[in-house]
Amino acid sequence: MAKNSSFDITTGVDLQEVDNAVNQALKEVAQRYDFKGSDCTIDFDRGAGTIVLEADDDYRLKALLEVLRAKLVRRQVPVKNLDLGPVEQASLGRARQRIGLKQGIDQETAKRIVKAVKDLKLKKAQIAVQGEELRVSSPSRDALQEVIQFLRGQDFGVELRFGNYR
């Protein structure tokens, strides 16, 4: 009987890198001319996995979001894993936006990934949901490589990471 090979599919962000990116964004905002005299804040709650942006108006909020995104990209944090909330109007005409950080694959996305892999109809390739990650197993390592290549070409709304290949 052939031994099954497998790999795991996960997603998430490195919270320390997010913290570093937030600090860099705050430094840049303090020095930029278009933010001079404005009261813009970025609050990162590590425990809840959220970032709250607050600015004087919608224009500055959008500029603040772009600064944060640039710093996240530079620190290699996947921006696909940002869950942007709606822009809320705060007191005194200020604008606020909450950004959630996706850690782990949610059930809805997991079902779409499972369906996509099963639609490939690779012989003996099996996929199973294990909490917030997925495990793909098959006796053929070539089938596993095909699954990885297929999933890299798809967009499921989150950055997929492949690991634990054995």
* Residue 107: Cβ within 10 Å count: 9
Backbone phi, then psi, for 90, in 5-degree steps?
Answer: -95, -175
DSSP conformational letter for 111: H
Same fold, 5-11+104-163 and 15-101: yes
pLDDT over 50 at 97, yes or no: yes
Q: What is the pTM of this model?
A: 0.83
Q: What is the largest CA-CA distance in the chain?
A: 71
pLDDT at 2 over 70: no
**Which residues, 6 or more positions from 85, have their beta carbon under 8 angstroms from its beta carbon?**
97, 98, 99, 100
Over residues 30-40, the pLDDT tens digits come to 998 888 888 88
Quick one: pLDDT band at residue 1, thresholds 50, 70, 90? very low
CATH code for residues 5-11+104-163? 3.30.70.860
CATH topology of domain 15-101: Alpha-Beta Plaits (3.30.70)
∠ CA 61-101-95 to the nearest 5 degrees?
20
How many Cβ atoms from other residues are within 10 Å of residue 129's Cβ?
15
Q: How confident is the model at residue 26 (pLDDT cuts 50, 70, 90)?
A: very high
> Where exactly are the structural domains of the chain?
5-11+104-163, 15-101
First to last CA, the chain: 17
pLDDT digits over 106-152, tens only?
888 999 998 988 888 877 888 888 888 899 898 888 888 888 899 99
